[in-house]
Amino acid sequence: MVTVSEEKKGRSLLLLFAGVREMGISVFIVFLIAAVSLRSPYFLTVDNLVYILIDIAILTIVAIGETLVILTRSIDLSVASTLALSGMIVGMTISKHQGIPPAVAVLMGLAIGAVLGSVNGLLVAKGRIPPIIATLGTLSIYRGLVFAISGGAWVDAHEMPRPFVYLSKNTTLGIPNLVLFAIIVAIIFYYFLNHTRTGREIYAVGSNPSAARVVGIRVDRILFLVYLLSGTLAGMAGVLWISRYASAQSDTASGFELQAIAATVVGGVNIFGGSGTLPGVVLGSLLMGIIVNALNLIRISPFWKLAVQGFIILLAVVSDALLSRRLQQAGASEGAS
């Protein structure tokens, strides 16, 4: 962790912000946990906590990809459609060729996602289409392709090979596979973002694209890369999704892109790029997962789920904005004195 401590000296204020941001959401989560466990003693059982982790695994994987994109001042609205298309292609393939091992299915998902993500990357980096427009377009295109290749039909549980369905149900060394996937992805991308040159360049492009260009960072390649990675992760998430829910449908994960963006933003990633941390994003999706779980446990009608999620997103960003503004003022007066 030498690099981190070196950075701390150089950019203490920035890191203070990042630190406080994660602390803010952590405190919020702790309060939420305390409040919910008062209402429902089952909440703090190991079974339930593991269930929450399983529940947020796929969201976390997609949100990490979304984070890379948002860090560069872009956005990827097509992740849910990419997830669905990858899931449908893999689902249809394994239903026809039952012998395909689950690992190969996951690799297929990664590859399909990479292709779809690189289309976004080309449109944004080479075609110079504003990210929100390019991925709004591919959101519709990929979603339509899911329908086109499936003809609106589902791939059901009984059509999938048993080992594939169990991929998401089994545990390895006592850890549920889905959670393990999310942990591996989180560790890889934590290392990538913080300890590799390219990872730091992603932050640089997001903080100041023209300065990044001046110091010799190839902004186009970074943009292409983040979309490629976001698509790849969404593609993998698609395979895990159809394994977990044992079905692939044309409306799989419809609207999931907003949950992924919400987890990212609630986790403290600046929507204008350049700042945000991976642990923050993991906490962001954890918060989203806890909310859904808590609503179920304290028997609030499922119709409240969306409204509460929306309220929490707004609460998180408003308090974050007010807090960081307060801090900025404090920092400025400290610097002056």
Quick one: 102 or 238, whose CB is closer to another protein? Answer: 238
Quick one: 18 or 129, whose CB is closer to another protein? Answer: 129
* Residue 127 Cβ vs another protein, minimum distance, rounded to whole Å: 6
* Residue 257 Cβ vs another protein, minimum distance, rounded to whole Å: 10
Would you tell me which residues interact with another protein (CB under 8 A)?
Answer: 75, 123, 127-130, 132-134, 136-141, 143-148, 152, 250, 258, 261-262, 265, 271-272, 301, 303-311, 313-314, 317-318, 321-322
Number of H helices and E strands in the chain, helices first, is 14, 2
Quick one: 184 or 318, whose CB is closer to another protein? Answer: 318
Quick one: 101 or 310, whose CB is closer to another protein? Answer: 310
Closest CA to 235 of 119, 144, 111, 147: 111
* Residue 226 Cβ vs another protein, minimum distance, rounded to whole Å: 18
Question: 171: which DSSP letter?
Answer: E
* Residue 229 Cβ vs another protein, minimum distance, rounded to whole Å: 21
Quick one: 191 or 272, whose CB is closer to another protein? Answer: 272
Residues 6+ apart with CB under 8 A from 181: 57, 61, 236, 240
What are the tokens at 195? 């300890």
Question: 154: which DSSP letter?
Answer: P
Quick one: 27 or 314, whose CB is closer to another protein? Answer: 314
* Residue 18 Cβ vs another protein, minimum distance, rounded to whole Å: 18
* Residue 104 Cβ vs another protein, minimum distance, rounded to whole Å: 28
The H-or-E segment that residue 176 falls in is strand 175-176
Quick one: 184 or 321, whose CB is closer to another protein? Answer: 321
* Residue 77 Cβ vs another protein, minimum distance, rounded to whole Å: 8
Quick one: 106 or 262, whose CB is closer to another protein? Answer: 262
Distances (CA, A) of 68 to 140, 159, 177, 309, 331: 22, 35, 24, 23, 28
| HEC sequence for 53-76 | HHHHHHHHHHHHHHHHHHHCCCCC
CA distance 178 to 185: 11
Quick one: 50 or 129, whose CB is closer to another protein? Answer: 129
- If you search the block for the tokens 């919020």, which residue do you land on? 28
CA distance 264 to 270: 9
CA distance 269 to 203: 11
Cross-strand partners of 172: 175
- Per the CB < 8 A criterion, the answer to whether 46 and 197 are in contact is no
Closest CA to 83 of 62, 104, 111, 69: 62
* Residue 224 Cβ vs another protein, minimum distance, rounded to whole Å: 16
* Residue 97 Cβ vs another protein, minimum distance, rounded to whole Å: 26
Q: Residue 212 is which amino acid?
A: A
